[in-house]
């Protein structure tokens, strides 16, 4: 029997691994997709930063009467910015606001009358700063103005404190992280664990996507395609048993699925470097993540049964459907449901709810995440393995029943 399965399997595998187009979709695509996407996003991000920094923002300060000296401080504070600063009178306020709306002006500052009276009296006054968040540079310019003006405010307070006879030291209650010893870092994350966490969060999603996509690419054609082409009948009038046919096809679909999962894992590993350099400010935590041999073993123990489960699911649908198109229509809702599961595992925190651990497919995804976070528990791993295998056995049993049922095989 296994020899017969092998004959079937050999042909299916030859079909997959010698067809350059199919191979590209099954192996190369999952591998290069993420790195390409992230390197592209990283590059776009960098280009954007360069562009923003080289842009000279247009800022207008609109002020009332008097207070020239104080106004001078504010002007001074903006001189370090890459900006073109103008002044205007309050009578122009409405037209200036319109210019902000029209994105003709990035920032509009409105200052009250006689600010120097307030300074002298030691009282507070109101500044209004307008910007337009839909403009490309407006919010960025606003943040810069905000920071610059805060420095002016601090200088004023410093001045007041010194005038009152106190030391300016009272302005500083404490400092953070000034006393770290040489070679000591504030981020105590273990070597590589940041990349591990990142991979752990994203991988279950991509694994399940490619397990499914590859199973569908190979599995739907495998039976529904043969029905459609009429070659299934040719296969059935031979000496091989139907169990051998189902097993042979099943294993070939599984191989395609696993190849996709491993490729996408490698792809994500490569991509995570771009991802980290995009999300973290300091380069310090970009250390490499390497999977230990235990993690590799655990990964295999979870992914292989999951691949068996998903390929049996696809093969069942493929056997039931009259043709590839009908099969695609039937499997789509399941595919979407599984994608939602993937997204859900991505968003749940470190301790997933119990029902996730009990649900087939879901529990494998959760455990996969644990493995990369380096806190997988063997009990959970074995449980996910067991549920996947039990569900697969049921699915294969049903598929086999259908394979022996002429009403399913020759459905019109």
Partner 1 sequence: MLRVENLSKEFRNSRGRQRNVVKAVSNLSFQCQPGEIYGLLGPNGAGKTTTLRCLSTLIKPTSGNVWIDQYNVLEHGQIFRSKIGFLTSDMKLDGYFTPDYMMNWFGQLNKMEDCRIEQQKEKLFNDLQMTDFIHKKIDQLSTGMKQKTAVAISLIHDPEVIIFDEPTSGLDVITSKAVTDFLVSRADSGKIVIISTHNMTIAEKLCHRFGILVDGELKEEGTLSDIIEGSSWDNLEDVFFSYILPGGNHV
- Name the residues that contact ligand ATP, by CB under 6 A: 410, 412
How many angstroms separate the CA atoms of 62 and 219, rounded?
A: 69
DSSP E strands, 73-231: 83-89, 107-111, 128-130
Does the footprint of partner 1 cover residue 236 (CB under 8 A)? yes
Does the footprint of partner 1 cover residue 237 (CB under 8 A)? yes
Site for partner 1 in 15-44 (CB under 8 A): 15, 19
Q: Interface with partner 1 by CB under 8 A: which range of 5-13, 49-57, 201-209, 326-334?
A: 5-13
Does the footprint of partner 1 cover residue 160 (CB under 8 A)? no
Does the footprint of partner 1 cover residue 128 (CB under 8 A)? no
CB atoms within 10 A of CB 338: 20
State the distance between the two ends of the chain, measured CA to CA, in whole angstroms.
30
Q: Binding pattern to partner 1, positions 387-406, x when CB under 8 A?
A: -------------------x
Does the footprint of partner 1 cover residue 2 (CB under 8 A)? no
Compare residues 169 and 406 and give the one whose CB is closer to ligand ATP.
406
Q: Interface with partner 1 by CB under 8 A: which range of 64-72, 223-231, 370-378, 387-395?
A: 223-231
Q: Which of ligand ATP, partner 1, none has residue 117 at its interface (CB below 5 to 8 Å by kind)?
A: none
Tell the smallest beta-carbon distance from residue 11 to partner 1 (Å): 6
Tell the smallest beta-carbon distance from residue 247 to partner 1 (Å): 14
Strand ranges across the sheet with 83-89: 83-89, 57-63, 107-111, 128-130
On whether the CB atoms of residues 114 and 65 are closer than 8 A, the answer is: yes
Does the footprint of partner 1 cover residue 230 (CB under 8 A)? yes
Does the footprint of partner 1 cover residue 235 (CB under 8 A)? yes
Tell the smallest beta-carbon distance from residue 412 to partner 1 (Å): 8
Give the position of tokens 């000279």: 56
**Helices 378-403 and 293-320, interaxial angle, to 10°?**
20
Does the footprint of partner 1 cover residue 229 (CB under 8 A)? yes
User: Please, which residues have CB within 8 angstroms of residue 248's CB and are 6 or more apart in sequence?
Assistant: 4, 5, 6, 7, 8, 9, 12
Task: Select the residue interacting with partner 1 from 79, 134, 167, 239 (CB under 8 A).
Answer: 239
CB atoms within 10 A of CB 329: 11
Closest listed residue to residue 202, CA positions, set 97, 107, 120, 274: 274
User: Please, which residues have CB within 8 angstroms of residue 284's CB and are 6 or more apart in sequence?
Assistant: 185, 187
Residues near partner 1 (CB under 8 A) are 4, 7-8, 11, 15, 19, 229-231, 233-240, 406, 409-410
């Amino acid at each position: 029997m296994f020899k017969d399965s092998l004959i079937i399997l050999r042909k299916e595998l030859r079909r997959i691994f010698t067809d350059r187009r199919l191979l590209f979709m099954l192996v190369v695509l999952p591998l290069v997709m993420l790195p390409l996407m992230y390197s592209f996003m990283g590059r776009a991000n960098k280009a954007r930063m360069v562009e923003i920094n080289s842009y000279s923002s247009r800022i207008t300060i609109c002020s009332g009467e008097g207070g020239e000296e104080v106004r001078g401080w504010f002007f001074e504070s903006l001189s370090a910015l890459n900006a073109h600063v103008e002044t205007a009178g309050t009578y122009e306020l409405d037209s200036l606001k319109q210019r902000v709306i029209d994105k003709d002006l990035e920032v509009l500052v409105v200052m009250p009358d006689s600010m120097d009276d307030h300074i002298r009296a030691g009282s507070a006054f109101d500044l209004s700063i307008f910007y337009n968040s839909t403009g490309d540079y407006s919010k960025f310019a606003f943040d810069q103005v905000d920071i610059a003006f805060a420095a002016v405010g601090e200088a004023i307070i410093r001045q007041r404190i010194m005038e009152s006879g106190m030391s300016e030291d009272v302005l500083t209650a404490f400092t953070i992280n000034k006393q770290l010893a040489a070679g000591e870092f504030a981020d105590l994350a273990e070597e590589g664990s940041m990349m591990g966490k990142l991979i752990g969060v994203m991988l279950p999603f991509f694994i399940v996507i490619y397990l499914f996509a590859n199973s569908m690419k190979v599995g739907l054609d495998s039976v529904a395609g043969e029905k459609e082409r009429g070659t299934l009948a040719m296969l059935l009038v031979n000496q091989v048993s139907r169990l051998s046919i189902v097993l042979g096809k099943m294993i070939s679909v599984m191989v395609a699925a696993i190849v996709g999962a491993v490729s996408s894992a490698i792809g994500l590993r490569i991509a995570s470097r771009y991802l980290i350099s995009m999300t973290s400010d300091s380069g310090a935590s970009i250390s490499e993540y390497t999977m230990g041999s235990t993690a590799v073993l655990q990964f295999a123990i979870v992914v292989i049964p999951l691949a068996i489960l998903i390929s049996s699911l696809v093969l069942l649908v493929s056997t039931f459907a009259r043709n590839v198109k009908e099969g695609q229509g039937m499997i789509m809702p399941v595919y979407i449901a599984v994608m939602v599961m993937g997204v859900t595992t991505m968003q749940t925190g470190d301790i997933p709810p119990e029902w996730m651990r009990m649900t087939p497919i879901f529990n494998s995804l959760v455990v996969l995440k644990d493995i990369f976070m380096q806190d997988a528990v063997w009990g959970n791993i074995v449980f996910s393995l067991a549920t996947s295998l039990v569900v697969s056995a049921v699915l294969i049993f049903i598929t086999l029943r259908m394979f022996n049922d002429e009403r399913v095989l020759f459905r019109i």
